[in-house]
Chains A and B, each alone.
Chain A
Amino acid sequence: MPSGQDIAALLPFLLLVLGALVLMLSEVFLRSGGRGYQSGLTIAFAAAAALAVPFAPQQVLFGGQAVSDGFAGFVTMVVCAGLALSALLGRGWLETRNMERGEYYALALFGASGMVLLGMATDLLLAFIAIEVMSLAVYSLAAYPRRGQRPPEAAFKYFILGSFASAILLYGSALYYGATGSTLLSAMRGGGGALLAAGLSLILVGLAFKVAAVPFHAWTPDVYEGAPTPATAFMAAGVKAAAFAFLTRGVLAMVAGTPFAVGNELGGVLGLLAVLTMVVGNLFALPQRNVKRMLAYSSIAQAGYLLVGVIAASRPESRAQGTSAVLVYLAAYAVTVIGAFSVLAVMEKREPTPDAGSADAWDVSRFAGLASRRPWLAFAMAIFMLSLAGVPPTAGFVAKLSVFQAAAGAKAWGLVVVGVLTSIMGVYYYLRVVVAMYMQPAEMEEPAAAPPTVAIAIAVAALLVVVVGFSPEPLTAWARAALLRM
């Protein structure tokens, strides 16, 4: 029987689940066509979950399978912020396409609850459940519009490949159990040998799929492009944050426990993945004229930089620095990418089905001359692009700086060099959008005005990006404080 303490510690998660149930029921009892309150309700639950975080006691849960600590709290906050912003975005996007239903928000809330649980998990079995809760919701969100060919195709691909990755993860967990006799991350202390090494490798593969690290990234562009834009934004921000949270926890447990050799080899593999991810993600983004696909490759590239942070966290001399850098990066990326997708959502071609115009629905030429017609929208997009490129004074710069600083602290100079060089490569394709907006004459028809909720999401995201860029201290201090309670 869970105690009151346990419930308080789980409260953010429980609130999100409750919200999902309420939203599902709301559809049943709906009388009139008015659904305007649904997004509001979603945001309210997200806010309630976020507000519950400071009150959650630091506590080991489910007999050691989960923990509510500062790290989990930070991840919960990021997920809730992502959920609230993408609900704002979803409201405007769905309403203008006449697709707004309670299921959408319910699925998002379920997904968020999985993410929050994943942030708390310290056990492979619980993590698997959390990943499935999160993933099933996200698969469905990708398929949400149903009309047309693209969303179902994207969702189906995502589902099949995701299941494949889950199977690998599960197999790794089984091997892990065989080696250590437990599924707890802390059990690594006891085991060793080939079985554990193989188990950990396969678990790493499964997680690498979720964070979209090369060569397990192939699904990302197709899924990101095919899914409805608000769902893509939520995916990019939330799934990445949750998966990286668990990956970081796993790596920290690994270096604390495994025989040195295994940790070392896995560290080498992680480094290889990081380099591959940074190089390939940026290389593929380079020729993209389709902004949505470019953002998908960019999300792969960003996973590479995050992996650099994880590697720094795995070295004893830069553990705290690396872990807090990962947290800062996740927060900065979540806000930036939702902002970018929100602008994209305003700009995309509004056919009855998103796939009708196929690729040119998101062509960069749609952004041409935006600065003269919608100066604020263009300005916000420029902020997001600069943040993704890591140009000061934006949150993205703060994030990149802290990750590279941590890697430098770990004396991982090779990773820093590759990271900086590929970041420069990134500037090229991010600035292409800015150049189109500010330096090219308008070609397309007047873009439609942003729905008010989307405008709010964009404004909030842009403001956060700039404020963190100018004054990063609160965020970095918060990330450092989160580690102290870990």
Chain B
Amino acid sequence: MPPLLDNPAAAQSYLWAIILLPLGGALVNGLFGRRLGRGNVGLIGLAMAGGAFLLSCIAFAWVAGGTNLHFVGDWWFRVVDPSGRAPISVPWGLLVDRLSGTLLLIVTGVGFLIHLYSVGYMSHEDDAGYARFFTYLNLFIAAMLTLVMGDNLVLTFVGWEGVGLASYLLIGFWYTKEENAAAGRKAFVTNRIGDFGFLLGLFAIFSIFGTSDFGQLSARALSLQPDWVLTSGVFAGWTMRGALTFATLGLFVGAAGKSAQIPLYVWLPDAMAGPTPVSALIHAATMVTAGVYLVARTNFLFVLAPTSMAVVTIVGACTALLAAVIAFAQYDLKRVLAYSTVSQLGIMFIGVGSGAYAAGVYHLMTHAFFKACLFLGAGSVMHAMHDDLDIRNMGGLWKKMPSTAKTFLVGTLAITGIVPLSGFFSKDAILAGALFSHNAAWPAVGKIAYVIGTVAAAGTSFYMMRAFALAFVGAPRTRTAEHAHESDWTMTLPLWVLAFLSVVALVLGLPAWLVGHHYAELFQQFTNPVFGRAYKVLGIEEHSAIWPYAVAWVVALVPGWLSWQMYAGSMRGFPDRFVAAFPGFFRLVADKFRIDELYEFILLRPVRKVSQGLFLAVDRFTIEGIFVNGVPKAVYAVGDVLRGWQNGNLQRYATVIAVGAAFILWAVLAAGGY
């Protein structure tokens, strides 16, 4: 047996390799990619992602066996105060427990499949672009793994920024098109707003606890009383609950930015400008779920701040509904999927906000499978349709692209939550968890979220079936659709794998009344070591109600059936009549409630005005006028005076020295009173 499998200490010491492999791949491809040739570039990218996946499997095996892997790192940096204590010290430590281990497998596993898919998908790029793409993709994997595995918030933040960078680079991958570059900027700036919240939360946590290490934080958080009053630090005079509410709300602002929640969700739909594998990996399966992960990771802090949990829940619910409604009126296949991602992330936040942590992360996992499958399917369609993504121009692709169509159907059914696919169990677990949760700050929030979430789920079922029916069923509506053809095996293989995973992931979330206690809620049982104490704090008990499942089933089936009838069956024509009857409302929805325009009006325009003013006052006048032009002038003027001294003349230099010495003598003696 290699020591890696034999000895947890050895396995721990290999944790960094999981990050360094893709990072190395990014370095090699970034520096030499152009000269290596595309075959080697793809091979390096794939091999690094695959290697990371294998090592992750080993790490996961340890975690599944009950041993957490914790690499205790050396100090990265520390801030030492005058007394020699280090109030802030940040190590290079990595932690793989059952939560991060799960994420690890998702990131490297789905990541590997998408690398494979990209080999085919990006084949139209020139060599430089191809190398650039795999560089960014590997960089993303490395950053995401840092985010997931970091054993402290600072390292998580490093990864957080890293994935933001990779996402920015990849959204604007075809940066020569202005709108793509603009989409990249929009994502970056919106995320910066969120990051500001993250930093506030991070600093607040440092101030409260003096550490950002997850292990220490959880130990201290669970031993403290929420009513304690802090005596020192920034929050002196606050109660623990108040300070933690501030800190966790800060973290949630960060999470809302990264995971596209109200009000920061606007960047994600535009992010679809990036290559489709990127949309699948970063903007559906992994990066956008980082916010959910962050809330789940810091569960021990959130459970002490019920107000924050209520905010998380209600923001998640509202986002889920809003995005689902907008998705009704979109015709761009990737945009439909993007809004559905926003909506599903909202559902996940309902879960982690109402204390159903395992359910939230379970949905994160199933969503990663089926949403990646759907996006890659959309990419495959995009290839076949020569980059046309308007579902009105498709139709009849079922016969032309059997693999894509079948896997897309699996994904659709899974996200809709039709029994027996995985989405049903994960989504239902969240909604049921919200329904039976108790929030001390706002007791009704769980029930409200349940109702809103159920409506959003009904909407999901409708628009997903609409998209599927319009794209794949019926007769081809354009010549391109008629001549569409199936994609290469490197693209269809990941589709089938992901579709398969979307189905089998259900075994992790079967309810007790169906399979008995031993096999029930396997994922819940699996993550109990991470979340168990939080459940105890929240007083969450197991429920065994069956009726929520029945409701969920109806909610999934009826709108889906209606949608099918309207877009592929006997009720065809109804949508057009509906649009004709309420044109104003439809336009409003199709324009995404004009939220972008609203932001433009209330935020961007004033900001632009102010910055224009500041530009004139600060940049033109102060910086350019005084510093850039004024300072050199002043310096040159001073220089002219001083040049008399700095003229290479030896006697002059000696005089300066003598005068200086005399001045010092005088200063010391006179001021000293001698």
Q: Is A265 within 8 A of B671, CB to CB? A: yes
A409 to B664, CA, bound (A): 27
Would you call A364 an interface residue if the criterion is a C-beta within 8 Å of the partner chain's C-beta atoms? Answer: no
Q: Is A194 within 8 A of B669, CB to CB? A: yes
Closest residue of chain B to A161, judged by CB? B653
Q: Is B650 within 8 A of A160, CB to CB? A: yes
> 5 interchain pairs (CB within 8 A)?
A161-B650, A193-B674, A216-B656, A222-B648, A265-B672
The 5 closest A-B pairs by CB, nearest first: A409-B82, A194-B674, A215-B660, A218-B653, A205-B661
A8 to B111, CA, bound (A): 60
Cβ < 8 Å to A, chain B residues 621-671: 631-632, 635-636, 638-639, 642, 645-646, 648, 650, 652-654, 656-657, 659-661, 664-665, 667-669, 671
Question: Which of B81, B652, B653, B659 has most A Cβ within 10 Å?
Answer: B653
Would you call B6 an interface residue if the criterion is a C-beta within 8 Å of the partner chain's C-beta atoms? Answer: no
Closest residue of chain B to A266, judged by CB? B668
Would you call A268 an interface residue if the criterion is a C-beta within 8 Å of the partner chain's C-beta atoms? Answer: yes
CB distance from A40 to the nearest CB of B (A): 32
Would you call B673 an interface residue if the criterion is a C-beta within 8 Å of the partner chain's C-beta atoms? Answer: yes
Q: Which residues does chain A contribute within 8 Å of B671, judged by CB atoms? A: 265, 268
Would you call A164 an interface residue if the criterion is a C-beta within 8 Å of the partner chain's C-beta atoms? Answer: yes
Q: Is B638 within 8 A of A268, CB to CB? A: no
Q: Is B669 within 8 A of A198, CB to CB? A: yes
CB distance from A180 to the nearest CB of B (A): 16
Chain A 264-300, CB within 8 Å of chain B: the 1/0 string?
Answer: 0110110010000000000110110000000000000
The size of the chain B interface, using a CB distance under 8 A, is 38
Q: Which of B72-80, B496-504, B546-554 contacts A (4 or more CB under 8 A)?
A: B72-80
Q: Which residues does chain A contribute within 8 Å of B636, judged by CB atoms? A: 287
Residue of B80, B631, B672 near A262 (CB, 8 A) is: B672
Q: Is A283 within 8 A of B672, CB to CB? A: no
A320 to B81, CA, bound (A): 12
Cβ < 8 Å to B, chain A residues 153-173: 157, 160-161, 164-165, 168
Q: Is B80 within 8 A of A405, CB to CB? A: yes
User: Quick one: given A201-B668, A221-B646, A222-B648, are A209 and B657 in contact (CB under 8 Å)?
Assistant: yes
CB distance from B458 to the nearest CB of A (A): 51
Cβ < 8 Å to B, chain A residues 205-226: 205, 209, 215-216, 218-219, 221-222
Chain B 54-76, CB within 8 Å of chain A: the 1/0 string?
Answer: 00000000000000000000111
CB distance from B264 to the nearest CB of A (A): 28
Q: Is A164 within 8 A of B657, CB to CB? A: yes
Q: Is A283 within 8 A of B80, CB to CB? A: no
Cβ < 8 Å to B, chain A residues 173-209: 193-194, 197-198, 200-202, 204-205, 209
A284 to B79, CA, bound (A): 33
A-B contacts besides A157-B648, A201-B664, 7 pairs, CB < 8 Å: A161-B657, A215-B660, A216-B656, A216-B660, A269-B667, A284-B642, A473-B78
Question: Which of B78, B656, B661 has most A Cβ within 10 Å?
Answer: B661
Q: Is A164 within 8 A of B660, CB to CB? A: no
A409 to B82, CA, bound (A): 5
Q: Is B667 within 8 A of A268, CB to CB? A: yes
CB distance from A262 to the nearest CB of B (A): 6
Q: Is B75 within 8 A of A202, CB to CB? A: no
CB distance from A464 to the nearest CB of B (A): 18
A202 to B653, CA, bound (A): 17
Q: Is B80 within 8 A of A197, CB to CB? A: no
A210 to B149, CA, bound (A): 51
Q: Which residues does chain B contribute within 8 Å of A470, judged by CB atoms? A: 76
Q: Is B673 within 8 A of A261, CB to CB? A: yes
CB distance from A446 to the nearest CB of B (A): 21
Cβ < 8 Å to A, chain B residues 179-224: none
Would you call A95 an interface residue if the criterion is a C-beta within 8 Å of the partner chain's C-beta atoms? Answer: no
Would you call A358 an interface residue if the criterion is a C-beta within 8 Å of the partner chain's C-beta atoms? Answer: no
Binding site for A on B (CB under 8 A): 74-82, 84, 631-632, 635-636, 638-639, 642, 645-646, 648, 650, 652-654, 656-657, 659-661, 664-665, 667-669, 671-674
Q: Is A216 within 8 A of B74, CB to CB? A: no
Q: Which residues does chain B contribute within 8 Å of A205, judged by CB atoms? A: 657, 660-661, 664
User: Quick one: given A216-B657, A261-B672, A317-B82, are A201 and B665 in contact (CB under 8 Å)?
Assistant: yes
Q: Is A265 within 8 A of B668, CB to CB? A: yes
CB distance from A209 to the nearest CB of B (A): 7
A161 to B654, CA, bound (A): 6
Q: Which residues does chain B contribute within 8 Å of A320, judged by CB atoms? A: 84
Q: Is B669 within 8 A of A197, CB to CB? A: yes
Q: Is A269 within 8 A of B668, CB to CB? A: yes
User: Quick one: given A197-B674, A221-B646, are A283 and B668 in contact (CB under 8 Å)?
Assistant: no
Cβ < 8 Å to B, chain A residues 451-486: 470-473
Residue of B80, B642, B646, B667 near A265 (CB, 8 A) is: B667
Q: Is A198 within 8 A of B668, CB to CB? A: yes
Q: Is A197 within 8 A of B82, CB to CB? A: no
A75 to B669, CA, bound (A): 33
Q: Is A165 within 8 A of B657, CB to CB? A: yes
Q: Is A287 within 8 A of B665, CB to CB? A: no
CB distance from B40 to the nearest CB of A (A): 21
Would you call A68 an interface residue if the criterion is a C-beta within 8 Å of the partner chain's C-beta atoms? Answer: no
Q: Which residues does chain A contribute within 8 Å of B657, judged by CB atoms? A: 161, 164-165, 168, 205, 209, 215-216, 218
A405 to B77, CA, bound (A): 14
A202 to B665, CA, bound (A): 7
Q: Which residues does chain A contribute within 8 Å of B673, judged by CB atoms? A: 261
A284 to B639, CA, bound (A): 8
CB distance from B152 to the nearest CB of A (A): 16
CB distance from A438 to the nearest CB of B (A): 16
User: Quick one: given A160-B650, A287-B635, A321-B82, are A198 and B665 in contact (CB under 8 Å)?
Assistant: yes
CB distance from B128 to the nearest CB of A (A): 15
Q: Is A473 within 8 A of B74, CB to CB? A: yes
CB distance from A257 to the nearest CB of B (A): 16
Q: Which residues does chain B contribute within 8 Å of A222, judged by CB atoms? A: 648
CB distance from B89 to the nearest CB of A (A): 10
A204 to B84, CA, bound (A): 30
CB distance from B651 to the nearest CB of A (A): 10
Closest residue of chain A to B653, judged by CB? A218
CB distance from A460 to the nearest CB of B (A): 20
A284 to B648, CA, bound (A): 15
User: Quick one: given A160-B650, A286-B635, A471-B76, are A215 and B668 in contact (CB under 8 Å)?
Assistant: no
CB distance from A418 to the nearest CB of B (A): 16
Q: Which residues does chain B contribute within 8 Å of A221, judged by CB atoms? A: 646
A209 to B654, CA, bound (A): 11
Q: Which residues does chain A contribute within 8 Å of B82, judged by CB atoms? A: 317-318, 321, 409
Closest residue of chain A to B654, judged by CB? A164
User: Quick one: given A194-B674, A261-B673, A472-B77, are A269 and B664 in contact (CB under 8 Å)?
Assistant: yes
Q: Which residues does chain A contribute within 8 Å of B78, judged by CB atoms? A: 473
A160 to B78, CA, bound (A): 46
A431 to B653, CA, bound (A): 30
Question: Which of A201, A216, A283 has most B Cβ within 10 Å?
Answer: A201
CB distance from A130 to the nearest CB of B (A): 21
CB distance from A424 to the nearest CB of B (A): 11
Q: Which residues does chain B contribute within 8 Å of A193, judged by CB atoms? A: 674
Q: Which residues does chain B contribute within 8 Å of A209, judged by CB atoms? A: 657
Q: Which residues does chain A contribute within 8 Å of B646, judged by CB atoms? A: 218, 221, 284
A262 to B671, CA, bound (A): 9
Closest residue of chain B to A153, judged by CB? B648
CB distance from B403 to the nearest CB of A (A): 44
Q: Which residues does chain B contribute within 8 Å of A471, judged by CB atoms? A: 74, 76
Q: Is B635 within 8 A of A283, CB to CB? A: yes
Q: Which residues does chain A contribute within 8 Å of B81, judged by CB atoms? A: 409
Q: Which residues does chain A contribute within 8 Å of B654, judged by CB atoms? A: 160-161, 164
A70 to B653, CA, bound (A): 37
CB distance from A148 to the nearest CB of B (A): 15
CB distance from B90 to the nearest CB of A (A): 11
Closest residue of chain A to B631, judged by CB? A286
CB distance from B579 to the nearest CB of A (A): 53
Q: Which residues does chain A contribute within 8 Å of B650, judged by CB atoms? A: 157, 160-161
Question: Which of A197, A317, A320 has most B Cβ within 10 Å?
Answer: A197
